[in-house]
Structure formats: structure tokens, C-alpha cells
Structure 1
Amino acid sequence: MAAALKPLQSLNKLLQIKQLVRSHAVLTCVYPQLFAIQWVAEHSGMESPNPRLFSDSFEKAKLLLSQHDQPFLVITTERLIDGSRLDLIRHAKGQPHPHRCLLVLTHNHHLSIPQTLAAGADALVLEDSINRQSGALIHGLQALVTGQTYLDPALEACHLQTSPETIEALSARQLEILQLVAAGLSNREIAERLHLAPTTARDHVQAILKRLQVKTRGAAAVAGVRLGLVR
């Protein structure tokens, strides 16, 4: 019975994805080829008049986007064939009509959460979650089309165990500093931005980590997004 249900569940997820992206232009930029993403992208908008573009490099993706004067849903892997990582997301976010971006990370990814947030990724999904059909891809696409931010729960589990009920409230200054931490700034850069002594910025960051019950700056950024403290 379970074996029979699995194809049905896969079909239901595909129908959900198809409905989500039906009225949107989509650019899928993956390398190496992720069969789950590629297959979904190729089948999700067959009845849609909106563009369905595919690429494996930043330069080709940039060219494709330049040929269309409309916002896209951009689904991209962390590394492309020309070696670029977050270049596509930065480019997409720098356009007059910014594109919404979903970044697929491998289980052994080398990007930090602050890096991806600073680049402008709207949704982060682990490749393993797509392969397991956990629903993370659907939730990520839902975030793109509704203007929200999404972090794969599997990714969150790698960084923190914080719940809203257990954290101490952050001060206005700490919220401001958390925003800069999530943007990838160092303690020294935060100090310069806010006209603080470097030691003061360091102490604030340490206090933030303690209150969010995390050990790293990346985990603090994840917690900030998940708890709605970081834009």
C-alpha cells in the first residue's frame, strides 16, 4: 500500500508546484543537473504562457533574464558551471524589477547563512529535502510567490534548536545589530556602521548569541529569520 501511495504523493506535489508557478515566469539554473528540480521545472508550467527558461551558468542566465522585461521566480543551485555561486542572486536582486530567488544547497554546502541572506536569497532549500520529497520545495516556492522568506527546516535543524517561547527579548540596538550580522558584516564593520567601539559591537553580538541560544553568527541569522526578527 505504501509503495502505491508514493507515486500518488509525488503527483500531488507536482500538481501543487504546477499551480504555484502557473502565473509566473520561471528561470531554473542548476549545475550539476539536479533531476528533481529539472524535472519539476520542465513539467510544472506546460500550460502556462509565461517563460520557462533553463541554464547551467551565470552568464547564460543573465542573458536570458535580459531578454525579458518581467519579474521571474529564479531557482538556482549554489554553484554554476562557470564557478559563480551567489552572483546570479545578486544580479537578480539588483534589477529594476527584482526577481524572487530560491537557492538549493547541497548537504555539504560551503555557503554561510549570512552570505546567502546578504546576497538576497528569499528561500533556502536543501537538495536532500527535494530528493526526499519533504515538501520543502513547495514551501519555498510558496514563499517566493507570496513575498515571504523560507528556510528549509532541515537546514534550521543544522544550526539551532531555538523556539520563540525560550528566547529573551532583544533590545532595539541588538535587533539592529542582528540585522547587520544576518547581512554578513563583521564586528568591526558593525562598529564602523553604528559608530561603536569594536569591543562594544563584539559584546552586543555575544549577548545576541546568548539570548537566541545559539553558538554561531550563522545560527543567529537563521534564528532571526525564523523568528521574524530579520527582514
Structure 2
Amino acid sequence: MNLRLVIVDDEALVRTGFKVILTATHNMDVVATCDGREAVDTVIHHDPDVVLLDVRMPEVDGLTVLRELRRRSCRARVAMLTTFDTEEYVATALRLGATGFLLKDTDPEQLPEFVRIIASGGLVLANSVGDIFTSGNLWRQGSEEDRRKIGSLSAREREVLALVAEGLTNNEIAIRVHLSPMTIKDHVSAILTKLGSGSRVQAAVLAERTGLSASSPDE
């Protein structure tokens, strides 16, 4: 089945450019484009697989839209579109469950693959955003509650979560730790339940915030 996409941006030129690129891609349909004012109703109505959502829009910004979509339990995976990166925006978007940060000047040849990764549950971050994500600056405020949640995981679950935080897929984690993909899927499901996380990204954010790393899963 084709991936269903909605593009939200306050600039018509940006919406059109992304739509042209993605509709020319096999198995992708852009079912709607709109600005921030119409975003929530449009996404809820069309029920897409992926939303590409501008961070900064003049009337209703992307974080407000993302927060409302999550409040309504929208199933779509959301990637933020941006021309800039700040720790505040990155941290807030990731904590709200965004599964990607894409620059508006992303290489057109790479864009469809990034969308496929996001649709399949992966995390895609533009290089500059990735640097912010891994710098540790976002995660210095890990609370006692965060640490308690991490402490509830088994050593194997902490190892798997650390690899999820690196952006690895279940198949890649399975290869890394020499287990079957189905076993990894079960571990990830258990991790999300124990952490009370609605997505792999939210679990990864908690892992980063508490300093969990693949090199020290038993700490």
C-alpha cells in the first residue's frame, strides 16, 4: 500500500516543492497540504502515515500542532521541517514524539528514503540536529522519575534501549546483540510499556536524558 503523506508549511512554494518530489516517488501519495491553521483538522481528516510539519509558522506553530495531534492520539509519524535548529525546539519536539528533523533544503534524492525510514518507525535527524541530540546538552535535567523508569528495565532491555536511542532498527539491533528480530520486537514492546512511552522516539529521549549508552547498559 502507498504511504499517505500530509505536508504542513506556511509557504506554498515549500509545500509544492515537497509534494512534487514525493508524489513522483513510487508508493507515496501526498493526500493533502496546508498551513498551520488547518493542520490539525487536515491531519485528523486524512489520517496519513507521515506528516511533514514546519516548526515555525506565523499563526499556529508546529509545536502547537504536534502537541494537539498527540493529545488526540493521532497515529501519524511526524517529522519537523526547519531551516534552523535550536536546542529548545529540538528537545520539545522530540519529547512530544516527533520522529525526525529535516532541513527544508534536504537533498531531493534523499527525501523519499528519509520519509520511508520515518514511516517504518526509524528516527531521522539532519546532521546539525543530530549533533544537538548526541551532545548531551538536552538531557542534563533527567529527573529521579526518569532514572526510576530506567532502573525498572532489565540489563538486556537497557542494552536494547540504548541501541534504539542510536536510531537502530529492530533488525539492526538483532544483528548487534545476536538475537532474532522477533525477540528484539518483544524487548522493545516491554520497554515501551515499562517506560510508559508512546513511541520509540520518546523512549530514546528518556534514554538520552538519563545518560544511558550502548557502551554501558548495566550502569
Interval containing the TM-score (normalised by the shorter chain): 0.5 to 0.7
Q: Evaluate the alpha carbon distance shift between residue 96 and residue 154 of structure 1 in structure 2; reply closer, same or farther with a 3 A threshold.
A: closer
- Give the Å deviation of 1:49: 9.6
- Give the Å deviation of 1:90: 2.2
Where does residue 67 of structure 1 map in the other structure? 45
Q: In the aligned structure 2, how far is the partner of 1:98 from the partner of 1:121?
A: 12
Identity score, percent: 12
Where does residue 166 of structure 2 map in the other structure? 226
Where does residue 41 of structure 1 map in the other structure? 19
Q: What one-letter code is carried by the residue in structure 1 that aligns with 2:41?
A: L
Q: Deviations for 1:94-147, whole angstroms, at most 9, x for unmatched residues? A: 44451111111213557443212101111111234x2xx275533431222211
Q: What one-letter code is carried by the residue in structure 2 that aligns with 1:156?
A: G
Where does residue 101 of structure 1 map in the other structure? 78
Where does residue 33 of structure 2 map in the other structure? 54
Where does residue 57 of structure 2 map in the other structure? 80
Q: How does 1:115-126 map to 2 (within 5 A)?
A: 115-126=92-103
Q: Are the counterparts in 2 of residues 23 and 48 from structure 1 also a CA contact under 8 Å?
A: yes
Q: Deviations for 1:62-118, whole angstroms, at most 9, x for unmatched residues? A: 1222323x3431001111231423122223334445111111121355744321210
Q: In the aligned structure 1, how far is the partner of 2:42 from the partner of 2:110?
A: 27
Structure 1, unaligned runs of 5 or more = 1-21, 163-177, 197-222
Q: In the aligned structure 2, how far is the partner of 1:137 from the partner of 1:51?
A: 13
Structure 2, unaligned runs of 5 or more = 149-162, 169-202, 206-219
Q: What one-letter code is carried by the residue in structure 1 that aligns with 2:17?
A: W
- Give the Å deviation of 1:24: 2.0
Q: Are the counterparts in 1 of residues 22 and 29 from structure 2 also a CA contact under 8 Å?
A: no
Q: 2:91 aligns with which of 114, 120, 125?
A: 114
Q: What one-letter code is carried by the residue in structure 2 that aligns with 1:105?
A: T
**Number of residue-to-residue matches in the alignment:** 156
Q: Are the counterparts in 2 of residues 107 and 127 from structure 1 also a CA contact under 8 Å?
A: no
Q: What one-letter code is carried by the residue in structure 2 that aligns with 1:137?
A: L
Where does residue 26 of structure 1 map in the other structure? 5
Where does residue 150 of structure 1 map in the other structure? 124
- Give the Å deviation of 1:33: 4.2
SS across alignment from 2:80: strand
Q: What one-letter code is carried by the residue in structure 2 that aligns with 1:225?
A: A
Q: Evaluate the alpha carbon distance shift between residue 160 and residue 97 of structure 1 in structure 2; reply closer, same or farther with a 3 A threshold.
A: closer
- Give the Å deviation of 1:150: 1.4
- Give the Å deviation of 1:195: 9.0
Q: In the aligned structure 2, how far is the partner of 1:29 from the partner of 1:227?
A: 25
Q: Are the counterparts in 2 of residues 100 and 144 from structure 1 also a CA contact under 8 Å?
A: yes
SS across alignment from 2:33: strand
Q: Evaluate the alpha carbon distance shift between residue 91 and residue 139 of structure 1 in structure 2; reply closer, same or farther with a 3 A threshold.
A: farther
Which is greater in Rg? 1
Q: In the aligned structure 2, how far is the partner of 1:136 from the partner of 1:49?
A: 14
**TM-score after normalising by structure 2:** 0.55
Q: Are the counterparts in 2 of residues 71 and 97 from structure 1 also a CA contact under 8 Å?
A: no
Q: CA RMSD in A?
A: 3.9
